[in-house]
Structure 1
Amino acid sequence: MSRLGMVSRRAVLVGAGAVAGGLVVGVYFFERFRVNARLKDGLDKGQLMLTPYVRIGEDGVTIITPRADLGQGAYSVQAALVAEELDIAWSDIKVDPGAPSSVYYNGKVLKEGLPIAATSVLLGPVAEAISQAGGKFLSLQWTGGSSTVADAYDRLRIAGATARELLLRAAAKQTGIARADLKTRDGAVIAPNGRALSYASLAEIAATLEVPADVKLRERKDWRYLGKSMPRLDMVAKCTGTATFGIDIRLPGMVYATVCTNPHLGGTLRSYDASRAAKARGVLKIVPVKGGVGIIADNTWRAFQAAKLIGFDWGEASYPASSAAMFEEVRASFIPERRDSRCKDDGDVDAALAGAKVIEAEYCVPYLAHAPLEPMNAVVQLKDGRLDIWTGTQAPVFLVKMARKLTGLAAEDIHLHALPSGGSFGRRLENDYVRQGVELAMAYQGRPIKMTWTREEDMTHDFPRPLAVARMRGAVKDGKLDACDLAIAAPSVTSSQFGRLGLHMPGPDMAIVAGAWDQPFRIPNYRVTGYRVPELVRVSSWRSVGASGNAFLHECCLDELIQIAGADPLHERLRLCSHAPSRRVLDEVRRMSCWDSKPGPGRARGLAFTLSFGVPVAEVIEVEKINDAIRIARVFVAAEVGVVLDPDNLKNQVEGAVVWALGHAMNAELTFANGRAVQTNYHEYEGMRLYQAPEIEVVALETTGETGIRGIGEPAVPPAAPALANAIFAATGIRARQLPLIKTEGIRFV
Structure 2
Amino acid sequence: MGRLKTIARRTFLIGSAAIAGGVAFGVYKYKTPHDNPLLNDLPEGAAALTPYVLITAQSITLITPRADKGQGATSVQAALIAEELDVELDQIRTDPGAPSPAYYNTALAGDAVPFRSTDDSLLATTTRSVMDAPIKFLGLQITGGSTTVPDGYEKLRMAGAVARETLKAAAAQIHGLDVAALITERGAVILPDGTRVPYTALASTAATLDPVQDVTLRAPDQWRLLGKPMQRVDIVAKSTGTQNYGIDQSPPGMLHGAIRLNPAQGGEMLGFDATEAEKMRGVVKIVPLPGGIGVIADNTWRAFQAALAVDVDWGPAPYPADMAGHWSALSESFTPDQQDSRFRNVGDVDAALAEDSDLRFEYRAPYLAHAPLEPVNATVVVGEGRVDVWTGTQIPRFVQKNVAHIAGVETENVHIHALMIGGSFGHRLEDDVVRHATRLAMAMPGTPIKLTYSREEDMTHDYPRQIAMARGRGRVKGGQVESFDLGIAMPSVMTSQMGRQGLPVPGPDLQIVAGAWDQPFDIPNYRVTGYRAPELAPISSWRSVGASSNGFFHDCLLDELIHAAGADPLAERLRLCNHTPSRKVLEAVGEMSNWGGTPGPRRGRGVAFCLSFGVPCAQVIEVSDTDAGIRIDRVYVAADVGRILDPVNFEGLVKGGVIFGLGHAMNCEITYSDGAAEQENFDSFPGMRLYQCPEIVVRGLENADNIRGIGEPPVPPAAPALANAIFAATGTRLREMPFNRFVDFA
**Structure-2 change in CA distance of 1:168 and 1:48 (3 Å):** closer
Higher deviation after alignment, 125-134 or 576-585: 125-134
Q: Which position in structure 2 is the counterpart of 1:149?
A: 149
Give the superposition deviation at 1:212: 2.9
Structure 1: tracts of 5 or more residues without a match: 14-27
Matched residue, 1:742? 740
**What is the Cα deviation at residue 229 of structure 1?**
1.2
Q: State the Cα deviation string for residues 232-277 of structure 1 (Å, max 9, x = none).
A: 0011001100000000011111111101111111110001111110
Write the deviation string for residues 136-169 of structure 1: whole angstroms up to 9, x where unpaired.
1322100000000001000100000011001111
The number of equivalent residue pairs is 730
Q: 1:407: Cα distance to partner? A: 1.3
* Superposed counterparts of 1:573-722, under 5 Å: 573-627=573-627, 629-705=629-705, 708-722=706-720
Residue in 2 aligned with 1:223? 223
Residue 173 of structure 1: how far off its partner (Å)? 1.4
Aligned counterpart, 2:33: 32
2:361 and 2:606 map into 1 onto residues whose CA distance is 19
Say whether residues 1:433 and 2:411 are aligned partners.
no
Letter matched to residue 652 of structure 1: G
Aligned equivalents of 1:526, 1:461: Cα separation in 2: 39
Secondary structure of 2:489 counterpart = strand
Q: Give the alignment partner of residue 15 of structure 2, picking from 10, 25, 28.
A: 10
User: 1:131: how far off?
Assistant: 3.8
Indicate how the Cα distance of structure 1 residues 29 and 87 shifts in structure 2: closer, same or farther if over 3 A, else same: farther
Deviates more, 1:456-465 or 1:41-50: 41-50
Shift of 1:505: 1.7
Residues 618-674 of structure 1 show CA distances to partners (whole Å, capped at 9, x for unaligned) of 001011111261100000000010000000000000000000110000010000001
Residue number in structure 1 paired with 2:83: 84
Cα separation, partners in 2 of 1:704 and 1:205, compared to 1, 3 Å: farther
| Structure 1 position 105, deviation (Å) | 0.7
Indicate the residue corresponding to 1:55 in structure 2: 54
8 A Cα contact 2:47 2:203, kept in partner = no
Structure 1, residues 284-324: CA drift from partner, whole Å, max 9, x if none?
A: 11111111111000111111111121111100012110012
Structural mapping, 1:152-551, within 5 Å = 152-355=152-355, 357-551=357-551
Q: Give the secondary-structure state (helix, strand or coil) at the position aligned to 2:595.
A: coil
Structure 1 residue 375, shift from structure 2 partner: 0.5
**Aligned residue type for 1:34:** D
Aligned residue in 1 for 2:23: none
Shift of 1:99: 0.4
Cross-structure match for 2:26: none
Q: Report the secondary structure of 1:55's partner residue.
A: strand
CA displacement at 1:42 relative to structure 2: 8.1
Identity %: 55
State the partner residue of 2:119: 120
- In structure 1, distance between residues paired with 2:507 and 2:443: 41
Confirm or deny: 8 A CA contact 2:45 2:56 kept in the other structure.
no
Compared with structure 1, are the counterparts of its residues 556 and 226 closer, same or farther at alpha carbon in structure 2 (3 Å cutoff)? same
CA distance in 1, matches of 2:346, 2:611: 18
Corresponding position of 1:21: none
Q: Give the distance between the partners of 2:227 and 2:57, measured in 1 at CA.
A: 30
Distance in 2, Cα, partners of 1:42 & 1:673: 53
Task: State how far apart, in whole Å, the 1-side matches of 2:684 and 2:628 are.
Answer: 23
CA distance in 2, matches of 1:223, 1:12: 27
**Pairwise CA distance, 1:438:** 0.3
Q: Tell me the distance in 2 between the aligned counterparts of 1:120 and 1:529.
A: 19
Alpha-carbon distance between aligned partners in 2 of 1:362 and 1:89, rounded to the nearest angstrom: 54
Q: C-alpha distance in 2, partners of 1:12/1:124?
A: 17
Structure 1 counterpart SS, 2:519: coil
**Structure 2 letter corresponding to 1:276:** E
- The 1:127–1:719 alpha-carbon spacing in structure 2 relative to 1, beyond 3 Å, is farther
Give the aligned residue type for 1:408: G
Q: In the TM superposition, what is the alpha-carbon distance from 1:204 to its structure 2 partner? A: 2.1
Please give the per-residue CA displacement for 1:449-491, whole angstroms capped at 9, x wherever unaligned: 1110000000100101111110111111011101111100000
Distance of 1:366 and 1:736 partners within structure 2: 14
Q: Measure, in 2, the Cα distance between the counterparts of 1:211 and 1:605.
A: 57
Q: Find the aligned partners of 1:571 and 1:661 in 2 and give their Cα distance.
A: 25
Question: Comparing 610-619 with 132-141, which one deviates more in the overlay?
Answer: 132-141
Contact 1:360-1:474 within 8 A present in 2 as well: yes
Q: 3-state DSSP class of the match of 1:354?
A: coil
Once residues 704 and 329 of structure 1 are traced to their aligned partners in structure 2, the CA distance between those partners, rounded to angstroms, is 40
Structure 2 vs 1, CA of residues 52 and 331 (structure 1 numbering), >3 Å: closer, same or farther?
same
- Give me the whole-angstrom Cα distance separating, in 2, the residues matched to 1:516 and 1:627: 36
Q: Deviations over 1:199-249 (max 9, x none)?
A: 121122223334334201111111010001111001100110000000001
Take 2:330 and 2:353, find their aligned partners in 1: how far apart are those partners? 25
Contact 2:264 2:676 in 1 (8 A): yes
Residue 114 of structure 2 is aligned to residue 104 of structure 1: no
Taking the aligned partners of 2:127 and 2:619, their CA distance within structure 1 comes to 28
CA contact (8 A) 1:4 1:211 kept: no
Contact map agreement 2:46 2:54 (CA 8 A) in 1: no
Deviations 1:172-218 (A, max 9, x none): 11112322221111111111222111112112222333433420111
Shift of 1:704: 4.4
Counterpart of 1:23 in structure 2 is: none
SS of equivalent residue, structure 1 residue 435: helix
Alpha-carbon distance in structure 2 between the residues aligned to 1:291 and 1:50: 46
Q: What are the ranges of 5 or more consecutive residues in structure 2 without an aligned counterpart?
A: 19-28
Amino acid at match of 1:457: E
Distance 1:308 1:557 in 2: 47
Question: Could you report, residue by residue, the CA deviation over 1:402-445 in whole angstroms, capped at 9, with x for unpaired residues?
Answer: 01111110122110000010001001111101000000011111
Name the amino acid aligned to 1:30: K
**CA–CA distance in 2 between the matches of 1:113 and 1:182?**
44
Cα distance in 1 for partners of 2:42, 2:35 equals: 16
User: Could you tell me how far 1:739 is from its partner in structure 2?
Assistant: 0.1
Query: Is the 1:41–1:99 Cα contact (8 Å) retained in structure 2?
Result: no
| Counterpart contact for 2:380–2:448, Cα < 8 Å | yes
1:9-57 Cα deviation digits (max 9, x unpaired): 93279xxxxxxxxxxxxxx983233256xx5678546757574111011
Q: 2:558 matched to which residue of 1?
A: 558
CA displacement, residues 693-719 of structure 1 (integer Å, 9 cap, x when unaligned)? 1010111100243xx010000000000
Shift of the 42–289 alpha-carbon distance from structure 1 to 2, 3 Å rule, reads: farther
Q: Distance in 2 between matches of 1:9 and 1:728?
A: 49
Query: Structure 1 pair 12/55, CA: closer, same or farther in 2 (3 Å)?
Result: farther
Instruction: Kindly indicate whether residue 710 of structure 2 is the aligned counterpart of residue 726 of structure 1.
Output: no
Contact 2:551 2:717 in 1 (8 A): yes
Q: CA–CA distance in 2 between the matches of 1:50 and 1:218?
A: 19
Q: 1:704 to 1:550 in 2, by over 3 A?
A: closer
Deviations 1:554-594 (Å, cap 9, x if unpaired)?
Answer: 11111011101101111101000011111010011010010
Structure 2: distance between partners of 1:654 and 1:117 = 23
Is the contact between residue 50 and residue 162 of structure 2 (CA under 8 Å) also seen in structure 1? no
Distance 1:107 1:29, change over 3 A: farther
CA contact (8 A) 1:33 1:51 kept: no
| Letter paired with 2:33 | R
